[in-house]
C-alpha cells in the first residue's frame, strides 16, 4: 500500500509542475508543425521524383566506382601514386 501512495504522490507532483501543464499545448503545436513539414516534404518528393531517382542512381554509380578505386588501391598502391607503367616496348626504344 505504501508503494501505491508513493506512486500517487509522485504522479501528483509531476502533474503540478508548470511545464507539465503546458505540455499538451506544446505537443499539439509541435505535431501541427510536423504535419506541415511532412506535407512540404511529400510535395517536394512528388514534384522531383524523376530527379531524385537519377540522383540516387548517380550516387550508386559513384559508390561502385569508389569501391573499385579503393579495391585497386589496396591491390596495387603504386598504380594510384604513379599511374600505369609504360609498356615494355616503349621503354626499350
The pTM assigned to this predicted structure is: 0.45
- Nearest CA to 54 out of 66, 62, 65 is that of 62
Each domain of the chain, given as residue ranges in start order, spans 51-82
What is the predicted pLDDT for the residue at 15?
80
Helix, strand, coil percentages for the chain (3-state, nearest 5): 90, 0, 10
pLDDT in tens for each of the 93 residues of the chain?
788 888 888 888 888 887 777 777 778 888 999 999 999 999 998 999 889 899 999 999 999 999 999 998 888 888 877 877 667 765 555
Amino acid at each position: 500500500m505504501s508503494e501505491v501512495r508513493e506512486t500517487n504522490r509522485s504522479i501528483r507532483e509531476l502533474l503540478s509542475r508548470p511545464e507539465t501543464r503546458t505540455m499538451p499545448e506544446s505537443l499539439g503545436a509541435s505535431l501541427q508543425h510536423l504535419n506541415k513539414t511532412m506535407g512540404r516534404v511529400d510535395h517536394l518528393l512528388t514534384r522531383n521524383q524523376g530527379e531524385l531517382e537519377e540522383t540516387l542512381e548517380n550516387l550508386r554509380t559513384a559508390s561502385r566506382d569508389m569501391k573499385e578505386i579503393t579495391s585497386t588501391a589496396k591491390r596495387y598502391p603504386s598504380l594510384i601514386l604513379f599511374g600505369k607503367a609504360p609498356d615494355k616496348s616503349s621503354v626499350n626504344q
